[in-house]
Structure 1
């Protein structure tokens, strides 16, 4: 396995670590509705940071985006909106299935759909079976799905040990939302593929290969922002128990703390895809679809590790922790198999 591929896998791991930790600052927000908190953090992650980073990178911000036709930008935007719908469904999935089952099904579906649908649509899927590297890569995807399932099983054992249940458990509704979440969340993978002309144009401007995907985030996350912010604003406007005015009427020290924590959470959320771009740049072009598999499987892995560090698994017994450890090892093994496949 060459150094570039190893570096790409490492950057994906760092991005996934940020994804696994991003909600920690949000947990510090007090006396705010989830909709207000999510909107403030989202403005930072979906709008401010993508625009600021792109303005810094691009020699001429407006001429860069103006150089693309509507037919080029529209799929990128729509796939970003598709991914935004997946984000909303993610929270509802947790509500009806609980964390472990919801994460397991949603992440499992989005891992498979987001990873394999791209080469399938491009007509390259059958070609993967004709080479040793392709077969190893597909085996790595399968092993990653198994790892996600094992970690999810550990989460289920943990929930049972702690007596935690879903807020409004509904298997039928929860399964439907989990599958929808998985499919729609894969929109980010599709958006990155649709944005290749934008990446190539950024490279032609002399932008470092590690950064060429970042200007496309203005369009991708713009699509996600519209969906997420519209959902939050509609709820804030129509739900009597929610009030933006009340949220921003808290004591000034708390207001400042809430804003800072929400902005920090939004920053950490953005950084997952900042480093995703770095990892994606190091993956061989014929295997670029694997970036999504690495990101999502590492997200589950890092979520488990962060939970152990934060002592969330304390007093749940040896079996859940043992199953979690096995699942984490399987995901690490999957990443190694994929790396070997790309290097073949």
Structure 2
């Protein structure tokens, strides 16, 4: 495995670690509705940071985006909106299935669809099944899926040991939402593929390969912002138990703390895809579809590790932790298999 591929895998790990930790600041927000908290964080992660970073990177911000026609930008935006729908369904999946089962199904589905559909739709079927590297990469995807399921099973054991149950457990509704979440969340992978002309144009302007994907986030995350913020605003405007006025009538000190923690969560959320772009840049072009598999499997891996560090796995029995460790090792093995496949 060459150094570039190893570095790419490392940056995907860094991005996934940021994704696994981003919700921690939200837990410090007090007396706010989820919709207000999510909207503040979303403004930072989906709008402010993508625009600010792109403005700094591009020689001429407006000329760059004006150089693309609707045929280029619309698919990128729509795939971003598709991914935004997946974000909303993710939270609902957790409500009806619980964290362990919800993560196992939703992440498992999006890992497979986001990784394999891109090369299949591009007609690169032969690359997947007709080359040694492709077959090795497919094996890595399978091993990663097994690792995700093992970690999810560990979470299920923990929930049972601690007597935790989904807020409104509903198997039928939860499974439907988990499948929808898995499918729609893969929109980010599709958006990155659709945005390749934008990446190439950024490279032609002299941007470092590590940064060429970042300007496309203005469009991708704009689609996600439309869905997420629209959902939050509609709820805030129509539900009687929610009130923006009440959220912002808190004492000034608490209000400032809530805003700062929400903004910090938004920053950490954005950083996952900032480093995703770095990792993506180091993956060989013929295997770029593997970026999604690395990101999603590392997200589950880092989520388990963060849970251990925060002592969330103290449940009176060692079996859940043992199973979690096995799952984490399997995901690490999967990353190595994928790396060897890309290097072959």
SS in 1 for 2:111: helix
Deviations 1:40-68 (A, max 9, x none): 00000000000000000000000000000
Structure 1 CA distance for aligned equivalents of residues 126 and 209 of structure 2: 29
Structure 2 CA distance for aligned equivalents of residues 142 and 125 of structure 1: 17
Which residue of structure 1 aligns with residue 231 of structure 2? Answer: 231
Shift of 1:314: 1.5
Which residue of structure 2 aligns with residue 144 of structure 1? Answer: 144
Contact 2:147 2:327 in 1 (8 A): yes
Which residue of structure 2 aligns with residue 208 of structure 1? Answer: 208
Structure 2 CA distance for aligned equivalents of residues 315 and 190 of structure 1: 39
SS in 2 for 1:147: helix
Structure 2 CA distance for aligned equivalents of residues 127 and 303 of structure 1: 32
- Listed as ranges, the gaps of 5+ residues in structure 2 are none
Structure 1 CA distance for aligned equivalents of residues 130 and 242 of structure 2: 56
Q: Does 1:278 align with 2:268?
A: no
Structure 1 CA distance for aligned equivalents of residues 125 and 141 of structure 2: 13
Q: Does 1:302 align with 2:302?
A: yes
Shift of 1:315: 3.2
Structure 2 CA distance for aligned equivalents of residues 184 and 310 of structure 1: 30
Which residue of structure 2 aligns with residue 6 of structure 1? Answer: 6
Shift of 1:126: 3.1
Structure 2 CA distance for aligned equivalents of residues 206 and 316 of structure 1: 56
Which residue of structure 2 aligns with residue 118 of structure 1? Answer: 118
Q: Structure 1 segments of 4 or more deviating over 4 A? A: none
Contact 2:298 2:331 in 1 (8 A): yes
Q: How does 1:152-167 map to 2 (within 5 A)?
A: 152-167=152-167
Instruction: Between 309-318 and 251-260, report the one with greater CA deviation.
Output: 309-318
Which residue of structure 1 aligns with residue 246 of structure 2? Answer: 246
Contact 1:75 1:194 in 2 (8 A): yes
Deviations 1:95-144 (A, max 9, x none): 00000000000000000000000001001123321111111000000000
Structure 2 CA distance for aligned equivalents of residues 126 and 208 of structure 1: 31
Which residue of structure 1 aligns with residue 108 of structure 2? Answer: 108
- TM-score with structure 1 setting the length: 1.00
Provide the aligned length of Structure 1 versus Structure 2: 344
- Listed as ranges, the gaps of 5+ residues in structure 1 are none
Q: How does 1:46-85 map to 2 (within 5 A)?
A: 46-85=46-85
Contact 2:111 2:293 in 1 (8 A): yes
* RMSD of aligned residue pairs (Cα, Å): 0.5
Which residue of structure 2 aligns with residue 197 of structure 1? Answer: 197
SS in 2 for 1:59: coil
- TM-score with structure 2 setting the length: 1.00
